[in-house]
């Protein structure tokens, strides 16, 4: 039972490049989330999904897109990376009124 | 938005007791989570309070007062391994997605 798996673990992008972060969970959870974590800012919600085929904006959605085509996967896309998107990205999943299970994070640097 | 406030840093001595406070906005509030996060790692679940009162789990306890918009995490018999950031997160509204994190309290345990 792997839990929540994020790929890649590390990535360096140049400004303007695009990339997709993949999150996969094997716990049959309905809800999935993407957070970013910056020093002194805490965890901030980017987008989330309450089920397959549905997504919603969180606190800081600008510059990101997401898709939930399969229940077990939640993809986070950066179409044109900016230095302000340098951060640690965490994916999480859960079911109703239960704790979040986090992935190990993706450390992204945009130069 | 819903602000979650907690102290930025705290220091305590090994073997002592420390209380980390968290305040949140009460409108639409559903429940309160506490997570522990060691440097460079993903957050891990500590406790979840929905009703008023104290929940005890070994050396860790969490308290909630819904009317006051207040929670605290109590750590007893502090150990060096308890040095970490402690994240308070409040759930709002009918949607599972609206989980707002505080900026975290960095606890340093000294010998």
Choose among A30, A56, A103: nearest Cβ to B42: A103
Q: Cα B69 from chain centroid?
A: 13
CA quadruple A96, A102, A107, B2: dihedral sign = positive
Q: What is the pLDDT along chain A (111 residues), one digit of tens a residue?
A: 679 999 999 999 999 999 999 999 999 999 999 999 998 888 999 999 999 999 999 989 999 999 999 999 999 999 999 999 999 999 999 987 788 999 999 999 999
Q: Is the CB of residue B3 less than 8 Å from the CB of residue B99?
A: no
Nearest CA in chain B to A100: B45
pLDDT at B1 over 70: no
Mean pLDDT of the region B84-102: 83
A99 with B99: Cβ contact below 8 A: no
How distant is the Cα of A90 from the closest Cα of chain B, in angstroms? 8
Instruction: Compare CB distances from B45 to A42, A58, A99 and report the shortest one's residue.
Output: A99
Q: How close, in Å, is residue B38 to chain A by CA atoms?
A: 12
Residue B97 CA to residue A57 CA, distance in Å, equals 9
Q: List, for residues B53-77, the tens digit of each pLDDT value.
A: 999 999 999 999 999 999 999 999 9
The torsion angles phi and psi of B80, rounded to 5 degrees, stand at: -60, -35
**In terms of C-beta density within 10 A (0-12 exposed, 13-18 middle, 19 or more buried), how is residue B44 classed?**
middle
pLDDT of residue B100: 87
């Amino acid at each position: 039972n792997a839990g929540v798996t994020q790929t890649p673990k590390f990535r360096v992008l140049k400004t303007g490049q695009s990339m997709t972060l993949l999150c996969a969970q094997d716990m049959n959870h309905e809800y999935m989330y993407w957070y970013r974590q910056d020093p002194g800012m805490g965890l901030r919600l980017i987008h989330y999904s309450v089920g397959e085929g549905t997504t919603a904006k969180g606190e800081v959605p600008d510059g990101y897109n997401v898709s939930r085509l399969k229940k077990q996967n939640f993809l986070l896309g950066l179409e044109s990376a900016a230095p302000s998107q340098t951060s640690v990205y965490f994916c999480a999943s859960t079911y109703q009124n239960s704790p979040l299970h986090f992935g190990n994070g993706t450390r992204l640097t945009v130069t | 938005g819903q602000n979650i406030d907690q102290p930025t840093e705290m220091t305590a001595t090994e073997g002592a007791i420390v209380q980390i406070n968290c305040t949140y906005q009460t409108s639409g509030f559903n429940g309160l989570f506490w997570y522990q996060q060691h440097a460079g790692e993903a957050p891990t679940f500590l406790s979840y309070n929905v009703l008023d009162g104290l929940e005890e789990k070994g050396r860790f306890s969490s308290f909630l007062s819904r009317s006051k918009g207040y929670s605290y995490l109590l750590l007893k018999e502090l150990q060096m391994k308890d040095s970490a950031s402690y994240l308070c997160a409040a759930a709002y509204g009918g949607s599972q997605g609206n989980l707002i994190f505080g900026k975290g309290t960095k606890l340093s345990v000294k010998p």
